[in-house]
Amino acid sequence: MVKVVKVRGKSMAPTLAPGDYLIVTKARAIRSGFVILVNHPKFGVIVKRVTSVSNRLIELEGDGPESTASDALGEVALANVIGRVRLAITPTGLKKL
Partner 1 sequence: MLHSLISKFDSNIDMADAHCDIPCGIYDARIVTYYAVSALRQIDILLSLNEKGLSETGFAMQVARNTAKKEEMAEKCKHEARIIWGDFMKPKNQEDMAKCHDAAHAIMLAGSAVKQDLHREDGEKLVAAANAFAEIFWASKGVKTKKVKTPYAPNIEVVEPDL
Q: Which of 44, 55, 56, 96 binds partner 1 (CB under 8 A)?
A: 44
Residue 74 binds partner 1 (CB under 8 A): no
Shortest separation between residue 21's beta carbon and partner 1, angstroms: 5
Query: Can you tell me whether residue 14 is helix, strand or coil?
Result: coil
Distance CA 79, CA 25 (A): 15
- Looking at the DSSP assignment, which residues form a beta bridge with residue 93? 90
Residue 91 binds partner 1 (CB under 8 A): yes
Strands 81-90 and 35-40: antiparallel
Interface residue list for partner 1 (CB under 8 A) = 3-12, 16, 18, 20-22, 37, 43-48, 62, 64, 66-68, 72, 89-91, 94
